[in-house]
Chain A
Amino acid sequence: MRNPQLNEKGELQHLLTIEGLPRETITHILDTATSFVGVTAREVKKVPLLRGKSVFNLFFENSTRTRTTFEIAAKRLSADVINLNIAVSSHAKGETLLDTVDNLSAMHADMFVVRHAESGAPHLIASHVASHLHVVNAGDGRHAHPTQGLLDLYTIRHFKKDFTRLSVAIVGDVLHSRVARSLIHALTIMGTPDLRVIGPMTLIPAGAEKLGVKVYYDLAQGLRDVDVVVMLRLQSERMRGALLPSAQEFFKYYGLTPEKLALAKPDAIVMHPGPLNRGVEIDSAVADGSHAVILSQVTFGIAVRMAVMSILAGN
């Protein structure tokens, strides 16, 4: 079966997941993003690359933040951006996912940026749309969030240069995290030798080791001598079921405090996909401290999304 992300020439047609991407493709995206970082620092932050193209932000799950970053990226490429918050419109009226997509395709869309609560929804759309269309996965269920994975990768490369000597720890709700899955695939492809996930057993998915990570249930052990700490967002609804007793207890054992961070390397960086839950997964002293590169992630995120969109649109 052909990788559904690639066209018949083997070029990237859609970005659905980082899993299975060639290392060169990832490097190309990161290198291109470097050029866009320069663009976004200019007086005029726009390039005419996608002039006349229509990018549809199809958000079946609300996320103002992610939608905004894609919107900014598309606008800086001079594309026309149409935002559709489908969580509250047609979906409620019983229109199926593919009906919606067909309708928008008929409005001459060139690219769909898709966010959906169900894993695999962007794959379904990509397999259905006409061949000139491009689909960017902006997060599907627990499955993947490839642009986040790429911007995390960009951030790590920016601060740490070489992926092949790093220890990276991903902390928190790995079970529900598409961010964790995408970053794990990304770092594995780039040759990072020491990848760790840290969390209580209830938040670590079955067979996590098969993804190429070491599982730690103890934060102090897992953080020892790492170069990069990636804190995951803990959704408040996780506290309602039997996954965790309370935010307080979670913070006590898995929250990142300055004391815990001191176990990592002295020059370790701390990342977080945002939005932050201060006092749940991360202490304010860490979030606002000198190790945190969380705002750099946001800035790089725009450039990485510009790179992804322009590479796809050109293929």
Chain B
Amino acid sequence: MTIVLPDPEALCEELVQQLRPHVTPDTALVGIHTGGVYLAERLHAALGVAVPLGVLDISFYRDDFDKTGLHPQIKPSKIPFEVAGRHIILVDDVLYTGRTVRGAMHELFDYGRPASISLAVLIDRGGRELPVAAQFIGARLEVPSDHMLVLDRYENGKLRLKFDA
């Protein structure tokens, strides 16, 4: 079976449109490593968000640590703003089981108590294992469960969706 993957650039533009009405001077964007950060950087620039971009590497919050151990390349999380009382838009590339988002929310709360968290994703591929839903979605796509869909970035900064081994 061949799956035709949508153009992420178009989906990104779609997300910008959806998000724009919700961005206030107080809104903060937080991207989840790695694909989520690529997307968040684009959204952050396109939306002209004033609060600096936050990034999360949720390796320390994964619920499959017992099975898979620690990720070999962990990037530091950076939340360069006060979390307490803030409206936060969490950004990830692909929403699947919901476990990553759970980990990200857990980590965010270790920085403080936000006023709200909403979720923006490029692709919602279904298959949820936790009660997690995205408020902003670029596209919905059915992907076989043995495929891993991720967002990548070319040297020139253009985004592309691809399947990982």
Contacts and interface: CB of A to CB of B under 8 A. Distances in A.
A and B touch in the complex (CB under 8 A): yes
Interface of A: 11, 28, 31-32, 34-39, 42-44, 46-49, 310-311, 313-315
Contact of A314 (B57, B68, B110): B68
B60 interface: yes
Contacts, number: 53
Contacts of B77: 35, 38-39
Given A28-B72, A35-B74, A39-B60, 9 more contacts: A32-B70, A35-B75, A38-B77, A38-B78, A42-B110, A47-B60, A48-B60, A49-B70, A311-B69
A237 B106 CA distance: 50
A37 B60 CA distance: 13
Contacts of A46: 110
Contacts of B60: 35-36, 39, 47-49, 310
Contact of A35 (B59, B65, B111, B112): B59
B69 A314 contact: yes
B80 to A, nearest CB: 11
Contacts of B2: none
Interface residues of B, number: 21
B70 A43 contact: no
A36 B74 CA distance: 10
A36 B59 CA distance: 11
Nearest to A34: B76
A311 B70 contact: yes
Nearest to B73: A31
A164 B69 CA distance: 31
A315 B131 CA distance: 30
Nearest to A48: B61
Nearest to A47: B60
21 contacts: A31-B74, A32-B70, A34-B76, A35-B57, A35-B59, A35-B74, A35-B77, A42-B110, A43-B110, A44-B110, A47-B61, A48-B60, A48-B61, A48-B106, A49-B70, A310-B60, A310-B70, A313-B65, A314-B69, A314-B70, A315-B69
